[in-house]
Amino acid sequence: MAQPLVKKDDDRDDEADYSPFLGIEKGAVLQEARVFNDPQLDARRCSQVITKLLYLLNQGETFTKVEATEVFFAVTKLFQSKDTGLRRMVYLMIKELSPSADEVIIVTSSLMKDMNSKTDMYRANAIRVLCRITDGTLLTQIERYLKQAIVDKNPVVASAALVSGIHLLQTNPEIVKRWSNEVQEAMQSRAALVQFHALALLHQIRQNDRLAVSKLVTSLTRGSVRSPLAQCLLIRYTSQVIRESSTNSQTGERPFFDYLESCLRHKAEMVIFEAARAITELSGVTSRELTPAITVLQLFLSSSKPVLRFAAVRTLNKVAMTHPLAVTNCNIDMESLISDQNRSIATLAITTLLKTGNESSVDRLMKQITNFMADIADEFKIVVVDAIRSLCLKFPLKYRSLMNFLSNILREEGGFEYKKAIVDSIVTLIRDIPDAKESGLFHLCEFIEDCEFTYLSSQILHFLGNEGPKTSDPSKYIRYIYNRVILENATVRASAVSTLAKFGAMVDSLKPRIFVLLRRCLFDTDDEVRDRATLYLKVLGGEVTVGETETDANDFLFGSFDVPLVNLETSLRNYEASEEPFDINSVPKEIKSQPLAEKKAPGKKPTTGLGAPSNGPVSAVDAYERLLSSIPEFAGFGALFKSSAPVELTEAETEYAVNVVKHIYDGHVVFQYNCTNTIPEQLLENVTVFVDASEAEEFAEVASKPLRSLPYDTPGQTFVAFEKPEGGPATGKFSNILKFIVKEVDTSTGEAEDEGVEDEYQLEDLEIVPGDYMRKVPVANFKNAWESMGPENEQVDEYALGVRESLAEAVSAVINILGMQPCEGTEVVPSNSRSHTCLLSGVYIGNVKVLARLSFGISGPKEVAMKLVVRSEDPDVTARIHQIVIES
Amino acid sequence: MESCPSVKNVLLLDSEGKRVAVKYYTDDWPSHAAKLAFEKSVFTKTEKTNARTEEIVMFDGYIVVYKFIQDLHFFVTGGDNENELILATVLQGFFDAVDLLLRNNVDKRTALENLDLIFLCLDEIVDRGIVLETEASVIAEKVASHSLDGATSFSEQTISQALATAREHLARSLLK
């Protein structure tokens, strides 16, 4: 590791590359270090030698234990010299050597003498060195001096003691905590940095005491903290306090917000930015709170300093993920940043624009992205890919250029994570945009022709098997798939065989050819590949019957695995080899923990396309459907039309947490109550929800399914089903009471008592609203869809919406009431516009397609008017949509 | 939760990416090889830019602010949650202090000839990750006063000269 410091090529042009350390060698320098032992010290010479030693260490040279000890002892001799410059180098050298405990003793007395010297520089540095190398026992001896130093009038000495205190707190907290009074006094110092260091130490001393931190913040935000660094620190502590207190006071103003806002007017940019960032990161920040922060960040975007531009665009980028509307104001400034010399700034600007931009700017943006995709790091590329996927889902019309872009970058160099992000995006687009299917599949086929990642290849093959046979010309995929059988490793070959079988099962015309290909696989070197080929040949040839009919054979090939893997694993572990074969039907299908899909609000932007099928909104419905159809009471309700996002029925941090998912069927609704017991000392049994539907006259309870037991921290579900008139638009309010039997649990043994007590718990009310009968379904091309729907069932009306906060607020309110999917990004209202047109699409219960065009206008006193044009396949539904707007 | 602003390293490299002086304050790069690898990647990622003023780059979860002059490259690294402007202030302090100490002759050769000053400068700016001082004139004064009658002496006159340049700097930044 130790490299000779002479760089051979340095010799060529000696003038430019002259170095005072040319030809330096460790051995020689160690020899030179003998001058430290001279009775007549030459300070100048000694300084030079130390510099050389430091240079060696800095270049990565290491000293052996013996060498280090020798140097250390030699250096300690230099305390005799009165030369301040030399002394300073000695301090550095000691810190660099980090001596062992028995060596420390040698310098302790010298350092303690310096700590009490009249020279401030000696004092400051001796403190830093001593605290660096000391252990706990020595600390008690010097504690008195350190306390004095903290309140020393020289800021350098005070800072040295305070910073040392911050470090020592990690190892000797009980000692440092005793310095609280002195540190508090240092807070009042006039020196900026002392204030900063004192605040940092004071907070660390009190960090485990919430109340003390809160008091500290309260007193300091009123006073004047002078140093910008200390101000930044205070902002961080303040947002920490806000974070911890916000759960308690749900109503009213956010505490300390005024302070954060006032920091936006500070004179130091550092503080302004820290405050702006803190505001954007507040949990549940409102657009009103965001506005002043966004305004200062916008100013930073056009700064001449790259660091400022970067900081601003990075923060805005994060805001755009949660509040895209708030950032649209900055779009013009952001677009000029795309050509920024600094690539990091350009990337962040692009991805922010992708999140907030509108349809017309897509093509231009794509062109600009392509240019610099090559010279940014993978982690940035993944960010860009994710942004493009969400963009494509927002503007399905633009899929062609976006899909092209994805396929182009798929061909370039890149690591696994990056490639996976691209493939996932393409898969998501194929699923959500029917028009994109054929080209997307084709790009994936191209990709697996030269894919170095087994995982991706087999995932794509699986996906191809499901989607490929449904395309107009399935035969063109066969070549790509069979190539895998010839060229790839065993895992990919096995996947390819399964995929071939799926084509054979679905497409009759291809069957004979598939047979030929599968037979060739019978001679594969790998067991799994041969087994699969044999099995599929028999199944497809009808020699072995899986179930009774042909559909059963298809179920066997395509059927998703409806048994939870965890349950299967447990059952298989419990299974003991015997005469009786393992029966998969014996595996319980009840999902013990909450299904993954529920935790995520089913948004429009699935994060994963491949792999886990329980992700993403499409399959969230699948998961619910599977869950519900496994319950015999609900099996006769027909097809599930829609499942709502979970609605919380309890406040956060209550004893029992309950949320509800509304499942809408044609003639029924099912409420799925997801309950969590947060008390370790309790076991709940026979959990039901008593629903009072007196305010929902059209609903009649038909069935309920209690939850047998609800142990601590393991979510469980109970269901209640209602009958209602066919189709829409029955609405109503339901009040809920959770009923159960409580049993005490001994937390040490985990055993519950036998006797339980009946108890109940009031939950919040639940409503069925008109929007529940509408499913958000995007259309690829609104104009085409609108025209093909025709004006037969069109109804036009105008409504006054009264005084609204803003146009954007009115638009989003109407979208929420109707529960429809905004198309082509029209839910984004450009700021300051006086009118806006919004396009919505959806499917009403009974599978009736509905399209709506809303034109909004706002007058001076914020009076909003709306013209609503609805087209649908059924005149009754058209009228009903208008009815929804009239009633709300 | 460590909420105190912290600096992970300060680097001074030459125009080929070789070390002039470096200081690491955290264990993010435990071995010498890891440190060199970081320096190499930070150098290659930034060498094409023309960082006359403070520039910034983010990679591998680090934020690096940097500035070049002649054949010297100055870097300050922080975590990806760090306030970029604080890091930039540290860089500015380091850069200007070196400028003062080397009496406006900031190049690799002068830096190597006064390497002791550079080491002391690094020592005065950050202490184990915590920002110690950011004001260039204060840093330079602290470093210089140590070598008053030392070998690489900074005579009384040069200090006032240095402070004059500091004032000039200040005036310039006010004029902007």
The band of A309, judged by pLDDT with boundaries at 50, 70 and 90, is very high
**Within an 8 Å CB–CB cutoff, is residue B47 touching chain A?**
no
Dist. CA A328–CA A356, nearest whole Å:
6
In chain A, whose CA is at the least distance from the CA of B142? A121
At residue A393, φ and ψ (nearest 5 deg) are -70, -30
Average pLDDT over residues A140-169: 91
CB contact under 8 A, B56 and A307: yes
Structure confidence at residue B161 (pLDDT)? 58
**Within an 8 Å CB–CB cutoff, is residue B174 touching chain A?**
no
At residue A42, φ and ψ (nearest 5 deg) are -100, 100
Structure confidence at residue A542 (pLDDT)? 67
Q: What number of CA atoms fall less than 13 Å from residue B145's CA on the CB side?
A: 13
CB contact under 8 A, A163 and B112: no
Q: Determine the distance in angstroms separating the CA of B117 from the nearest CA of chain A, rounded to an integer.
A: 9
Range with the poorest average pLDDT among A174-188, A431-445, A797-811, B161-175 = B161-175
Percentage with pLDDT > 70 across chain A: 89
Query: Residue A704 forms beta bridges with which residues?
Result: A720
Amino acid at A56: L
Q: Which residues contact A172 (CB under 8 A, 6 or more apart)?
A: A136, A139
CB contact under 8 A, A379 and B131: no
**Within an 8 Å CB–CB cutoff, is residue A60 touching chain B?**
yes
**Within an 8 Å CB–CB cutoff, is residue A308 touching chain B?**
yes
**Within an 8 Å CB–CB cutoff, is residue A314 touching chain B?**
yes
> Tokens in use for A451?
């894919």
Could you tell me if A387 and A355 are in contact, meaning their C-beta atoms sit under 8 angstroms apart?
Answer: yes
DSSP structure string for A64-96 = -HHHHHHHHHHHHGGGG---HHHHHHHHHHHHH
Crossing angle of helices A287-301 and A306-322, in 10° steps, is 150
Size of interface A-B (CB pairs under 8 A): 161
In which element (H, E) is residue A382 found?
helix A378-394
* A388 vs A228, more confident: A228
In chain B, whose CA is at the least distance from the CA of A16? B109
In which element (H, E) is residue A495 found?
helix A490-506
Dist. CA A171–CA A136, nearest whole Å:
8
The band of B171, judged by pLDDT with boundaries at 50, 70 and 90, is low
Do the domains A620-768 and A772-887 sit in the same CATH topology, yes or no? no
CB contact under 8 A, A232 and B49: no
Residue numbers in B near A83 (CB within 8 A): 149-150
**Within an 8 Å CB–CB cutoff, is residue B52 touching chain A?**
no
Beta strands in A120-237 (DSSP E): none
CB contact under 8 A, B53 and A167: no
Average pLDDT over residues B42-71: 88
DSSP structure string for A227-265 = -HHHHHHHHHHHHHHHHHHTTT--SSPPTTHHHHHHHTT
Could you tell me if A738 and A687 are in contact, meaning their C-beta atoms sit under 8 angstroms apart?
Answer: yes
Out of A58, A92, A163, whose CB is closest to B130? Answer: A163
Dist. CA B133–CA B139, nearest whole Å:
7
Mean pLDDT of chain A: 82
Q: Which residues contact A320 (CB under 8 A, 6 or more apart)?
A: A327, A352, A355, A356
Q: Sort A203 into a burial class: Cβ within 10 Å, 0-12 / 13-18 / 19+.
A: buried
In chain B, whose CA is at the least distance from the CA of A53? B116
Q: What residue spans define the domains of chain A? A: 358-452, 620-768, 772-887
Dist. CA A178–CA B135, nearest whole Å:
31
**Which A positions 647-706 lie with beta carbon below 8 A of chain B?**
none
Residue numbers in A near B151 (CB within 8 A): 43-45, 47-48, 85
Q: Please say if the pLDDT value at position A606 is more than 60.
A: no
* A743 vs A574, more confident: A743
Could you tell me if B104 and B97 are in contact, meaning their C-beta atoms sit under 8 angstroms apart?
Answer: no
* Highest mean pLDDT of the ranges A278-292, A561-575, B117-131: B117-131
CB contact under 8 A, B115 and A311: no
Dist. CA A462–CA A484, nearest whole Å:
13
CB contact under 8 A, A166 and B49: no
Residue numbers in B near A85 (CB within 8 A): 146-153
The band of B149, judged by pLDDT with boundaries at 50, 70 and 90, is very low
**Which A positions 79-108 lie with beta carbon below 8 A of chain B?**
83-89, 92, 95
CB contact under 8 A, A84 and B148: yes
Percentage with pLDDT > 90 across chain A: 14
**Which B positions 109-138 lie with beta carbon below 8 A of chain A?**
109, 112-113, 115-116, 119-120, 123, 127-128, 130-134
CB contact under 8 A, A311 and B83: yes
Out of A20, A55, A85, whose CB is closest to B146? Answer: A85
Structure confidence at residue A171 (pLDDT)? 87
Q: Determine the distance in angstroms separating the CA of B73 from the nearest CA of chain A, rounded to an integer.
A: 16
The band of A431, judged by pLDDT with boundaries at 50, 70 and 90, is confident
CB contact under 8 A, A270 and B146: no
**Within an 8 Å CB–CB cutoff, is residue B159 touching chain A?**
no
A307, A310, A337, A342: best mutation site toward chain B, by most B Cβ within 10 Å?
A307
Dist. CA B117–CA B146, nearest whole Å:
9
Dist. CA A134–CA B26, nearest whole Å:
19
Q: How far is the CA of B84 from the CAs of A308, A320, A666, B1, in angstroms?
A: 8, 19, 56, 19
CB contact under 8 A, B119 and A54: yes
Q: Determine the distance in angstroms separating the CA of A110 from the nearest CA of chain B, rounded to an integer.
A: 18
Structure confidence at residue A786 (pLDDT)? 84
The band of A103, judged by pLDDT with boundaries at 50, 70 and 90, is confident
Q: Determine the distance in angstroms separating the CA of B132 from the nearest CA of chain A, rounded to an integer.
A: 7
Would the pTM of this model clear 0.90, i.e. be above it? no
**Within an 8 Å CB–CB cutoff, is residue A19 touching chain B?**
yes
Q: Determine the distance in angstroms separating the CA of B38 from the nearest CA of chain A, rounded to an integer.
A: 14
CB contact under 8 A, A307 and B150: no
CB contact under 8 A, A84 and B147: yes
Average pLDDT over residues A765-787: 81
Q: What residue spans define the domains of chain B? A: 5-173
CB contact under 8 A, A207 and B109: no
**Within an 8 Å CB–CB cutoff, is residue A545 touching chain B?**
no
- Domain A772-887, second-level architecture: 2-Layer Sandwich (3.30)
Residue numbers in B near A306 (CB within 8 A): 53-56
Q: Please say if the pLDDT value at position A253 is more than 80.
A: no
In chain B, whose CA is at the least distance from the CA of A22? B112
The band of A39, judged by pLDDT with boundaries at 50, 70 and 90, is confident
Out of A92, A132, A232, whose CB is closest to B83? Answer: A232
> Tokens in use for A23?
């030809």
In which element (H, E) is residue A864 found?
strand A863-872
The band of A602, judged by pLDDT with boundaries at 50, 70 and 90, is very low
Percentage with pLDDT > 90 across chain B: 55
- Give the CATH class of A620-768: mainly beta
In chain A, whose CA is at the least distance from the CA of B65? A307
Residue numbers in A near B84 (CB within 8 A): 273, 307-308, 310-311, 314
**Which A positions 124-183 lie with beta carbon below 8 A of chain B?**
128, 132, 156, 159-160, 163-164, 166-167
- Give the CATH class of B5-173: alpha beta
What tens digit of pLDDT does each residue of A311-367 get?
A: 999 999 989 888 888 888 888 888 888 878 887 888 888 888 888 877 777 777 787
Q: Determine the distance in angstroms separating the CA of A24 from the nearest CA of chain B, rounded to an integer.
A: 13
What tens digit of pLDDT does each residue of A798-832 get?
A: 888 888 877 888 888 888 888 888 887 787 777 67
Q: Please say if the pLDDT value at position A572 is more than 70.
A: yes
Element counts in chain A: helices (H) and strands (E) = 37, 18
**Which A positions 228-267 lie with beta carbon below 8 A of chain B?**
229, 232-233, 236-237, 240
**Within an 8 Å CB–CB cutoff, is residue A341 touching chain B?**
yes
**Within an 8 Å CB–CB cutoff, is residue A57 touching chain B?**
no
CB contact under 8 A, B56 and A306: yes
Range with the poorest average pLDDT among A309-313, A541-545, A620-624 = A541-545
> Tokens in use for A620?
């969230």
If DSSP states are collapsed to H, E and C, what string results for A779-825? CCCHHHHHHHHCCCCCEEEEEEEEECCCHHHHHHHHHHHHCCEECCC
